[in-house]
């Protein structure tokens, strides 16, 4: 095996950090050098499984020689600081969404890191889902003519814990933001946001002044309408679909099951198994492809996609959705 593996460090050994660590372990071209987490037990447990050195202090990462880049999978409030320092050290960054819940903080961060021309990639993993990416490619190739309507369905299997929701920034900034990025993946120039939120099942979420369900309608510069349907729960698993409707046809991307088994009995026919339960399983291939794209960007110097500005744009749309859901008015947006 060649010795010029890419050397990466990982911030955060939580759920999403573990996803990246495992993707690296299965990638023969990347070496996981360090796992940094103030909760050192987590870092050590993960390092024992996938290799790398566990450290509690992020400073050790910035002191490590010959590092190529970092993956920021620590809690959201640490993102801006870690990203800025990594950039200052000339390290490429793959940062989980969101950059920050506050748009001013995000814009300030952008200015700061602009000076250092390092690759910055945002963790909008769904762009790398093989089915979504295939639809995107076919739309770009003109397979369905001009895109007119995009319908995104995105439902989580069950609400996150109350504490998580409380700190999440609300459904639009925490959950819908992924769908807003997928909207921009297909329709980069969004000019209007109309959102409706609802509380139909969770008293917890209602008490937190957040919505448990939402519908967002976006208008693109060329008149395209994007519709996003969200729910914080879903009895039949993780529901992640889209339909791209164009002048000459439609392409849909559906949910994923573990097998192709279908059941036929007195109760009904063609019953498929449950959908893959949540993002770790459903987007496993997407996370691996995302890592590949990050590695390629580092090696080639080509711009990252999605990049920092995609994170900015998605947050602006999330803020607009939150405003629209509160005021009952369509909100115009100008991409910053």
Gap between the Cα atoms of 181 and 318, Å rounded: 10
Closer of 238 and 308 to a copy of itself (Cβ)? 238
Q: Name the minimum Å distance from CB 115 to a copy of itself.
A: 39
Question: In this structure, how many other beta carbons lie within 10 angstroms of the beta carbon of residue 89?
Answer: 15
Q: Name the minimum Å distance from CB 129 to a copy of itself.
A: 9
Q: Name the minimum Å distance from CB 81 to a copy of itself.
A: 31
Q: Name the minimum Å distance from CB 226 to a copy of itself.
A: 9
Closer of 13 and 74 to a copy of itself (Cβ)? 13
DSSP-based three-state secondary structure for 252: strand
Closer of 96 and 212 to a copy of itself (Cβ)? 212
Q: Name the minimum Å distance from CB 309 to a copy of itself.
A: 26
DSSP-based three-state secondary structure for 308: helix
Nearest to 153 by CA among 74, 216, 87, 67: 216
Nearest to 92 by CA among 123, 128, 116, 56: 116
DSSP-based three-state secondary structure for 233: coil
Closer of 211 and 294 to a copy of itself (Cβ)? 211
DSSP string, 6-44: EEEEEE--SHHHHHHHHHHHT-TTEEEEEEE-SSHHHHH
Which helix (H) or strand (E) element contains residue 71?
Answer: strand 69-72
Q: Name the minimum Å distance from CB 274 to a copy of itself.
A: 6
Closer of 188 and 274 to a copy of itself (Cβ)? 274
Task: Tell me the three-class secondary structure of 121-186, residue by residue.
Answer: EECCHHHHCHHHHHHHHHHHCCCCCCEEEEEEEEECCCCCCHHHHHCCCCHHHHHHHHHHHHHHHH
Closer of 92 and 214 to a copy of itself (Cβ)? 214
At 228, list the tokens. Answer: 């996003």
Gap between the Cα atoms of 75 and 100, Å rounded: 10
Q: Name the minimum Å distance from CB 185 to a copy of itself.
A: 15
Closer of 172 and 308 to a copy of itself (Cβ)? 172
Closer of 62 and 245 to a copy of itself (Cβ)? 245
DSSP-based three-state secondary structure for 315: helix
* Backbone torsions φ then ψ of 167, nearest 5 degrees: -100, 5
Q: Name the minimum Å distance from CB 197 to a copy of itself.
A: 9
Closer of 74 and 224 to a copy of itself (Cβ)? 224
Q: Name the minimum Å distance from CB 114 to a copy of itself.
A: 35
Buried b (16+ CB within 10 A) or exposed e, 57-81: ebeebbebeebbbbbbbbebebbbe
């Amino acid at each position: 095996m060649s010795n010029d593996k890419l050397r990466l460090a990982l911030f955060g050994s939580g759920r999403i950090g573990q996803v990246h660590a495992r993707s690296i372990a299965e990638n023969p071209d990347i070496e996981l050098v360090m796992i940094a987490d103030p909760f050192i037990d987590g870092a050590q447990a993960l390092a024992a499984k996938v290799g790398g050195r566990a450290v509690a202090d992020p400073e050790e990462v910035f002191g490590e020689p010959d590092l190529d880049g970092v993956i920021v999978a620590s809690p959201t409030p640490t993102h801006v600081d870690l990203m800025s320092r990594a950039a200052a050290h000339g390290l490429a960054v793959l940062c989980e969404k969101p950059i920050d819940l506050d748009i001013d903080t995000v814009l300030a961060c952008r200015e700061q890191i602009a000076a250092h021309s390092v690759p910055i990639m945002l963790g909008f993993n769904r762009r790398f889902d093989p089915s979504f990416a295939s639809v995107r490619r076919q739309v770009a190739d003109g397979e369905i003519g001009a895109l007119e309507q995009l319908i995104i369905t995105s439902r989580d299997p069950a609400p996150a814990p109350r504490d998580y929701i409380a700190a999440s920034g609300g459904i639009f900034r925490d959950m819908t933001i992924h769908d807003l990025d997928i909207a921009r993946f297909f329709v980069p120039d969004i000019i209007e946001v109309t959102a409706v939120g609802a509380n139909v099942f969770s008293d917890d979420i209602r008490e937190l002044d957040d919505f448990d369900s939402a519908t967002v309608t976006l208008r693109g510069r060329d008149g395209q309408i994007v519709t996003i349907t969200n729910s914080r729960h879903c009895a039949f698993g993780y529901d992640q679909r889209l339909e791209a409707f164009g002048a000459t046809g439609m392409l849909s991307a559906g949910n994923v099951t573990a097998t192709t088994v279908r059941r036929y009995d007195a109760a009904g026919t063609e019953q498929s198994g449950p959908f893959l339960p949540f993002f770790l399983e459903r987007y496993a291939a997407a996370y691996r492809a995302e890592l590949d794209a990050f590695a390629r960007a580092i090696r080639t110097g080509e711009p990252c996609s999605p990049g920092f500005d995609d994170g900015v744009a998605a947050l602006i749309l999330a803020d607009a959705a939150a405003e629209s859901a509160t005021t009952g008015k369509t909100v115009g947006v100008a991409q910053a």
